[in-house]
Each structure stands twice: as structure tokens, then as C-alpha cells.
Structure 1
Amino acid sequence: MYRLDATADEIAVALGAQAGRDVWQGGGVVPGGFAPVVVQGRDTRRLVPRLWGVPPPPRGLNVVTHVRNLDSPFWIGTLRHSEYRCLIPMTAFRGGRDWFGVEDQPVFACAGIWRDSEVVSFAMITVAGDGLYPAEKVATLPLILAPEEFGVWLRADWKLARDLVRIGASGLRRIT
């Protein structure tokens, strides 16, 4: 679960995108719900609504909301094509029992991918969080990108974009 307490226009400004026709007014985002993501067009980034949760792989039962294994045959084709990578804007995410945000970034972005196969949907890239907050033992965290990394994630060759994947995140703050 994550929160996106910002309007489409506020998200667009924070992530250098065009809001277009997205009518997002802010609030909580749960699996199976719609939320805006930022995709790279030919010349501009734009907000588009997508459903959180990619249809499962063959023999899978549940939608997939998080991508942990970047080498999985189910994901690698999508990840190698930059046009299927996206930014997932958020204002807070849940880690264990606590909510976390990013210092000095009221709206921040994590790495994601989107698909159009059965439904227009997206999934969040996550990384190991163990040891970052020893008391809470946050197992996974969204792959939070710094603003200067947005273009690399959205446009670069997979070999360069994959270098953004790292353990943990810096600048996190607990939100009460």
C-alpha cells in the first residue's frame, strides 16, 4: 500500500510531466485500484492512469504488484524495453507497521513497469530493505529514484537502467 496525497497537477510539476487528462485528486492506493504513473512519450513525460497489479504469469493465481526478481523470464522482456518502464509517484509508502516518506521531496517516485496485455496495469520494482531499519526489519522497499535518475529509468538501455537498482534507500523519514 502507498499514498499519493497530491493532485495530478502537483505530481506533474514534481516529476517533470504533463498532467494531461488525468483527474487524480489524491489518496491511498491499494492493489487493484487505479493510480497515475508517469510514462515517457516521444518528447515528453505524461501522467496516465493504470491499474496497480499486473495479471499473473501462467499458472499464477494473483495479480503481481511488486517485481523483485529482475531476471525472471516473466519480466525481463518488459524491463529491456524502456517504453514499458514508468515512474510511480507517491507521497508515502508502508514499510512494516510504519509509513515512510523521502526527505525534501513531498512527491517522490519509485521505479515501475507497465503492461497493456489484458488490462492497462503496472507493478512496482522493490529492493531488499533488511538492515536499513533494524528495529522494524523492513523486508522490501520500493526502488526510490532521485530526480536526476528519472530519465535514466525511463529512457536508457537496460544495462544502464539496471545500475539504478540498489539495496535500501537514503533520505527516508518515518511519517507518523
Structure 2
Amino acid sequence: MPRRRPPVCNLYSSYTTQAAMRRAFEVSRDSAGNVPPLPAIFPDQMAPVVRKVDGERELIQMRWGFPPPPKVGNHPVTNVRNVASPFWRAWLKPRYRCLVPLSSFSEYKDTKPRKTPVWFAVNKDRPFAGIWRPWTGVRGTKAEPVEGEHLLYSFLTSEPNGVVGPIHPKAMPVILTTREDYETWLTAPVEEALELQRPLPDDMLEIVAEGARADQPEDVH
């Protein structure tokens, strides 16, 4: 059974209301139930994503993290970088792509004695480019195991931009910025969709918090 990853590692926050998510991503089918504001999401927890089903955009909750490849361990795989790997190939088809709404995300700053989470926010709520898949097995923690059928998601990453790079030089989430990008990611052939695997321009991202376990804005609507 997967163990929960340490807090504030590869997180995103979603303060966007459910109604606002439906409007922003032109959702016509809401299957997510009641989604409260989420100050932080951790691997293996549930969160809302947007996928396309029968020509309609659906808001639905999924669990963060794909099952790992065989013999790699048992931690959920939270992000996708090497899209040439056979492990990801089947799930990069249009039917398994999704949008992951976010308002901010965090990466660790290498400080001592403990690493410090640094929160990055875009100048307007934008989605990660993500993929999803069905999976049957046990997820959750030893204290709270969840057995059965699951919908799992992970998100696409790219090389970091000049804002994220000094903190986390390996990668950053692929953040989509236009409605055209949303539709391309959800529907285009693989080669065209993967042209979106690029870092966000530096002037569209800023550091908004450091050291907290969640990005906590003063005024949440």
C-alpha cells in the first residue's frame, strides 16, 4: 500500500469555487459532488479535475498519483515528464487527458535543517495539463485504506522557468493559459498536444509564500 508522501511536496492549492471552475473551464457536466475550498492537496488525496466525455467537459473528483511502474517502489507517481516512456504512452491519448484546476503550487527549497516549501502562483487561476486512468486496488494510508476501483490522475511537467528554476531546477508543472490550449490538450493528436509541454513565461508566475504548509491568501472568496 502506498505511504503518504511528506507534506508540502509537490502540492497545489485550489481556492476557486466549484461554480467558478465550471465557468472557467466551460463544464457542462458536474459529477464532483460538493467540493469545498482545498488549502492544499497531497499525493493520494482526492481533488477535482476536468475531462472530456462524449463531447462534454465533466468536472469529477479523482485521486492524485498513478500507480508506479513495476519494481520502482510504491509511492504514487504524481507527475509526467518523460512522455516517450512506454509507461505513459497509453494514457496520453485524448480520452485520458484532463485539466487540473489550480491557484498555486509548491516546491521545496533546499534549506537546513529542513527543506522549506515555496509557493508559486499564477496571475490568474489556470489548470495543469494532466492525464487520468482507471485503476483497481488499494490506495490511501495504512490507517485509512481505500480498496476498490479508483480514477487516478497525474500532471505533465516541463523544464522549469526562471522563477521556479532557482528553487527546483528539475521541473515545473505545465500550466495552460488560454481556452485554445485547454481544448488542444483535451482533444488534439498526441504530437500537437505535447507541443504544450513548455515552461510558463517568467512574468506570469511569482513566489507568494514561503515556509507554510499551504498557500493561505488573506481574503478567499
Identify unmatched segments of 5+ residues in structure 2. 1-10, 109-116, 137-149, 210-221
Identify unmatched segments of 5+ residues in structure 1. none
Amino acid at match of 2:66: V
Q: Give the CA deviation at 1:60.
A: 2.7
Q: Which of 168, 182, 196 is residue 150 of structure 1 equivalent to?
A: 182
CA RMSD of aligned residues (A): 1.7
Q: Which of 97, 111, 128 is residue 110 of structure 1 equivalent to?
A: 128
Q: Give the CA deviation at 1:131.
A: 4.3
Give the 5 Å matches for 1:40-119.
40-61=52-73, 62-79=75-92, 81-96=93-108, 97-103=117-123, 105=124, 107-118=125-136, 119=150
Q: Deviations over 1:97-147 (max 9, x none)?
A: 3211111x1x21010100102221001111111644554344321100112
Give the 5 Å matches for 1:151-170.
151-166=183-198, 168-170=199-201
The TM-score with structure 2 as length reference comes to 0.73
**Residue 72 to residue 134, structure 1, CA distance change in 2 (3 Å):** closer
Q: Give the CA deviation at 1:21.
A: 3.5
1:25 match: 36
Give the 5 Å matches for 1:118-137.
118=136, 119-129=150-160, 131-133=162-164, 135-137=166-168
- CA distance in 2: counterparts of 1:87 and 1:33, whole angstroms: 17
Moved more, 130-139 or 84-93: 130-139
The answer to whether the Cα contact below 8 Å between 1:130 and 1:137 also exists between their aligned partners in 2 is: no
Q: Which of 14, 17, 39 is residue 7 of structure 1 equivalent to?
A: 17
- Secondary structure of 1:77's partner? helix
- CA distance in 2: counterparts of 1:74 and 1:157, whole angstroms: 18
More strand by share: 2
The answer to whether the Cα contact below 8 Å between 1:9 and 1:19 also exists between their aligned partners in 2 is: no
- CA distance in 1: counterparts of 2:42 and 2:193, whole angstroms: 27
The answer to whether the Cα contact below 8 Å between 1:132 and 1:138 also exists between their aligned partners in 2 is: no
**Residue 151 to residue 35, structure 1, CA distance change in 2 (3 Å):** same
- Secondary structure of 2:30's partner? coil
- The total of aligned residue pairs comes to 172
Report which of the two structures shows the higher radius of gyration computed on alpha carbons. Answer: 2
Amino acid at match of 1:143: V
Amino acid at match of 1:157: P
Amino acid at match of 1:49: Q
